[in-house]
Structure 1
Amino acid sequence: MDITVTGEGAVLAEPDTLRLHAGVEVRRASAAESFAAVRAAAARLSQLLGQAGIEPRDVTTVELSLGPEYEAYPKVAAYRAAQGVEVVVRDVSQADRVIDAVAGVGEEARLNGVAFELSDQAAALAEARVRAFRDAAAKAAQYAELAGRPLGRVVSVTEEHGFGPPVPMRASLMAAESGNSVQPGRQALTVRVRLGYDFA
């Protein structure tokens, strides 16, 4: 006879990396004009990001588009061109500086969202595993006591882990510490473990 129990452990960790989705967009009368204009705007964006301390390796092109916009099909009103990038900001305290750099491009600038992440998850996941294992072991001991049987050894371990939605921290505290208008909050890292025991 054996018993299988599931335990869960969660750790809150403050993200230290920001992924900023930004880009440039223009509309011009011809496709050639539109494409040339968006390339020029993208070059300005790249220059300003560099001046804000972003290394070229931390900028990835994620969008490049060109197409007509119709006044009444098939009459073309203009051509829209866009170029988007994902910018990795490795120092969250510099978030506003980088966002200001994007805005500095001018009317062509676009901001499309941010995402925070924890660059080194190992320590947080290790602590979450400890908590999950202890949670499962406590449940197994309780069931063994209820069944009136001594609990044996662990015969199987299965793990899964994931990330919860950001957990807000007090805005005033974060603003005082980072000086940023964009706040990372804290992220929940969760480990679930399934333990199989036999009865002695």
Structure 2
Amino acid sequence: MSAPLPRTTATLAVALLALGLPVLAAAPATALTASAAPVVRNAPAPSTVTVTGVGSATAAPDLALVSVGVEAVGKTAQAAQVAQSKAANALLAAVRERGVAEQDVRTEGLSLTPVYKYQDGNSTLTGYQAAQNFTLKVRTVARTGEILQSVTDATGDAGRIHGVVFDVADRTELRARAREAAHKDAHAKALQYARLSGRHLGRLISLTEGASGGPSPVPAPADVAGGGAGVPIAPGEIQDDVRVTAVYELV
């Protein structure tokens, strides 16, 4: 049996019936209970250890970059250029005869400058100096000294040897070994820190390779190139270094 309507509500219902309008039963009042939202608690950040690993790898060079050139002086610009061209042609013929390929010879600089004599605050033009520089790629390192000797023999006083840099033609394998060594070094350090902290080493979170220079020559005892033939050369070794930063989780 439904509860009696309040007087105000009953009066309104009688008025609606008199007008021929339907009366809607009032919905019983119910208490609305808001559903409780789940409480989200942030999980604590995992403990980590950050270490730096350094790795090196060495290899015997298989390429020599030789910087050579010629210089000549003449009373006139034309005379200097003629003498320089003669010496340059002799240089190129000599290195090609020694097996340096055409594509491995590159002109690096060509110049013609006046030469002055300075005395008592005055300058007097005495002639001109013409010069040309080349870079040679010697792909048989043992022949480097022999090729340098051929340059000086062919050019005489006009010849110039500016320097020799040894390298490896393909650095891929050398860099890969250096990276492997750097990774092992970082892992070993992280493992030690975990043990010292009374923890276990967890997963690797991040690994970043830092900026590192390219392979560089390392002085080391070596046999004279060519078994004593030509200019003495000690190629040594080429070393590549890699540095990485690793972050590991501690569990």
The partner residue of 1:31 within 77, 81, 85 is: 77
Q: Do the aligned partners of 2:64 and 2:164 also contact (CA within 8 Å) in 1?
A: yes
Counterpart Cα distance in 1 of 2:195 and 2:50:
14
Counterpart Cα distance in 1 of 2:63 and 2:55:
23
Counterpart Cα distance in 2 of 1:178 and 1:81:
32
**TM-score between the two structures when normalised by the length of structure 2:** 0.73
Q: Do the aligned partners of 1:20 and 1:89 also contact (CA within 8 Å) in 2?
A: yes
Match of 1:136 in 2: 186
The partner residue of 1:159 within 203, 209, 221 is: 209
Q: 1:64-79 alignment to 2 at 5 Å? A: 64-72=110-118, 73-79=122-128
Counterpart Cα distance in 2 of 1:79 and 1:51:
31
Match of 2:162 in 1: 112
Counterpart Cα distance in 2 of 1:152 and 1:86:
52
Match of 2:247 in 1: 196
**TM-score between the two structures when normalised by the length of structure 1:** 0.91
Match of 1:40 in 2: 86
Q: Do the aligned partners of 2:167 and 2:217 also contact (CA within 8 Å) in 1?
A: no
The partner residue of 2:143 within 82, 94, 107 is: 94
1:37-74: per-residue Cα shift (whole Å, max 9, x none)?
21221112111111111111101111111111111244
- SS of residue matched to 2:173: helix
Match of 2:237 in 1: 186
Q: 1:14-29 alignment to 2 at 5 Å? A: 14-29=60-75
The partner residue of 2:53 within 7, 14, 24 is: 7
Displacement of 1:17 in angstroms is 0.7
Structure showing the higher strand proportion among its residues: 1
> Does 1 or 2 have the higher relative contact order (CA < 8 Å, sep 6+)?
1
**Alignment RMSD:** 1.7
1:68-116: per-residue Cα shift (whole Å, max 9, x none)?
1111244111211100001110001111221122112222111111110
Q: Do the aligned partners of 1:11 and 1:128 also contact (CA within 8 Å) in 2?
A: yes
Displacement of 1:178 in angstroms is 4.7
Q: Which amino acid aligns with 1:14?
A: A
Q: Which amino acid aligns with 1:96?
A: G
Identity across matched positions, percent: 36
Q: Do the aligned partners of 1:167 and 1:188 also contact (CA within 8 Å) in 2?
A: no
Q: Do the aligned partners of 1:132 and 1:192 also contact (CA within 8 Å) in 2?
A: yes
Q: Do the aligned partners of 2:145 and 2:226 also contact (CA within 8 Å) in 1?
A: no
Gaps of 5+ in 1: none
Q: Do the aligned partners of 1:25 and 1:82 also contact (CA within 8 Å) in 2?
A: yes
Q: Which amino acid aligns with 1:106?
A: G
- SS of residue matched to 1:77: strand
Counterpart Cα distance in 1 of 2:175 and 2:84:
43
